Amino acid sequence: MDRRTREYLSGRFGDYYRDADPTLPPAPDAREWGHIPWTGGESTTMVRHQSIYDLGDVDDFLAREAPRHVYFSAARYDDPGADTMDEKGWRGADLVFDLDADHLPSVDPAETTYAEMLAACKDALQRLLDLLETDFGFEDVTVVFSGGRGYHVHVRDDGLADLDSAARREIVDYVRAVDLDIEGLVRTRAVGGATRRELRTAGGWGRRTHRRLREFVAELQALDEDAAQERLMAFDGIGEGRATTLLGALDGETVADGNVEAGGPGARTLVEALARETVADETAPIDEPVTTDTHRLIRLPGSLHGGSGLVVARLDRDELDAFDPLVDAVPERFTRRSVRVDVTDPGVVELDGDSFTLDAGEQSVPECVGVFLMTRDRARKVKE
């Protein structure tokens, strides 16, 4: 990035921050703060090991320094401005999750547009929130659009701050269903002098599999017998005989009990197949190092992302469904005028509710588009 472009972006970020209202985390004075300035060269310089007292008033600091990126620590410390982690005096840390579109198994960054990547990431976010709120019962949950390729989730329920990295990794493994014992979702229980194999329906992945089993049986019951049998036989390991036995055994009461004994071997095959489908559809591909790192720095809500010019936006749960990051996270200040840039990486840009097909070379574009291109090194600022 050349000097003119850096100076332009720094100036416009400063203009944004003069009217911004960033959302500080709880106990901001116990957090480490960090930022990346608009320095030249290929490398980025992280300024960290600062306390909020080193910054002074956060609003004034942001307007004055206009940093490229702004962070605070998930951890709380006795002395957050100390130079080493040992000297800081760790008190505990928020439980933080990061979803990045580049890490989604369904997304190929080379073949997927930015808008499509963000849409896929929001789907993954909904799955993550369902797991955190339904399976773990977490209540103090904050959702933040990262301003880049995904979302951050901060959980601050009582009792979580003291979790070490190993305990946080167990939560990650559950959310991602790492090494999930599919067979272990079925237990053997004594019933009336006999034993019966049944799903663990009280919670966790057993309850989720049971829900899918009930939905599948409802689907079968809506079909005629031949179609239902064909549907069952689509699963590996279920032939005509097992399908016939299953159709006779999978009545509503049996499914409600989670009983997989009545249908014989075919029932267990079906349950294991549905469990694998459940895991594939309901896990969330979170970035493990972010959650397990008890000293992690995370983006400040209300700040600007220096790789997009979009706002790092804190979201209420009731506005999440309607949230469109390429519209709602565009700073209003950058929508009021056009700027002249030299486009070096042409292509389509979807932003602020419109789509722009840009050729290489000098041209005038809406400022939000120009800022987006310049922060991503796809354009340079030129004289007006």
Q: Name which of 11-25, 190-204, 370-384 the model is least confident about.
A: 190-204
Query: Catalytic pick from 15, 100, 226, 352?
Result: 100
User: Is 100 a known active-site residue?
Assistant: yes
Q: Domain range for residue 374? A: 331-383
Query: Catalytic pick from 157, 224, 281, 287?
Result: 287
Question: What CATH number corresponds to the domain at position 61?
Answer: 3.90.920.10
> Could you tell me if 154 and 191 lie in one domain?
no
Instruction: From residue 82, give the alpha-carbon distance in Å to each of 32, 71, 76, 79, 308.
Output: 9, 16, 12, 6, 31
Cα dihedral sign, 107-113-115-116:
negative
- Whether residue 41 is predicted with pLDDT greater than 90 in this model: the reply is no
Structure tokens at 150: 């995904």
> Could you tell me if 235 and 355 lie in one domain?
no
- Whether residue 43 is predicted with pLDDT greater than 80 in this model: the reply is no
Mean pLDDT of 105-129: 90
Domain count, the chain: 3
User: Is 158 a known active-site residue?
Assistant: no
> Could you tell me if 107 and 187 lie in one domain?
no
Query: Catalytic pick from 54, 57, 98, 318?
Result: 98
> Could you tell me if 235 and 202 lie in one domain?
yes
User: Is 19 a known active-site residue?
Assistant: no
Helix-strand-coil percent breakdown of the chain, rounded to 5? Answer: 40, 20, 35
- Whether residue 194 is predicted with pLDDT greater than 80 in this model: the reply is no
Mean pLDDT of 202-223: 92
Closest CA to 290 of 146, 105, 87: 146
Cα dihedral sign, 344-349-351-353:
positive
Q: What is the pLDDT confidence band of residue 87, given thresholds at 50, 70 and 90?
A: very high
Domain's final residue, options 329, 345, 362: 329
Instruction: From residue 378, give the alpha-carbon distance in Å to each of 1, 74, 223, 346.
Output: 9, 32, 54, 7
For residue 268, the model assigns a pLDDT of 87
> Could you tell me if 44 and 145 lie in one domain?
yes
E strands of 90-242, at which residues?
90-93, 95-100, 141-145, 150-155, 186-191, 194-199
> Could you tell me if 161 and 39 lie in one domain?
yes
> Could you tell me if 26 and 146 lie in one domain?
yes
Write the pLDDT tens digit of every residue in 156-172: 999 999 999 999 999 99
Q: Which residue has the higher pLDDT, 253 or 346?
A: 346
Which residues on neighbouring strands pair with residue 380, listed in sequence order?
342
> Could you tell me if 112 and 207 lie in one domain?
no
Q: What is the pLDDT confidence band of residue 93, given thresholds at 50, 70 and 90?
A: very high
Residues 6 or more apart whose Cβ sits within 8 Å of residue 271: 185, 186, 199, 209, 213, 260
> Could you tell me if 206 and 218 lie in one domain?
yes
> Could you tell me if 192 and 46 lie in one domain?
no
> Could you tell me if 10 and 104 lie in one domain?
yes
Integer Cα distance of 114 and 108 in angstroms: 11
Q: What is the pLDDT confidence band of residue 186, given thresholds at 50, 70 and 90?
A: confident
Question: What CATH number corresponds to the domain at position 374?
Answer: 3.40.5
> Could you tell me if 361 and 348 lie in one domain?
yes
